[in-house]
Amino acid sequence: MGELDPYEVVGSTRVFDGKVITVRVDDVRMSDGQVVKREVVAHPGAVAIVALDDDGKVVLVNQYRPAVAARLDELPAGLLDIDGEPPLEAAKRELAEETGLTAQEWTVLIDLHSSPGFSNEAVRIYLARGISAGSVSDFTAEHEELTMTAYREPLSQAVRRVLAGDITNSSAVAGILAAVHGRATGWRDLRPPDARWPARPAR
Catalytic, 145? Answer yes
Residue 133 backbone phi and psi in degrees, to 5: -70, 140
Residue 85 backbone phi and psi in degrees, to 5: -85, 120
Tell how far CA 176 is from the center of its chain. 12
* CA distances (Å), origin 202, targets 21, 38, 94, 112, 140: 13, 19, 21, 15, 28
SS3 98: helix
Cα 49 from Cα 142, distance rounded (Å):
21
Catalytic, out of 8, 105, 145, 153 = 145
Q: Which residues are catalytic?
A: 145
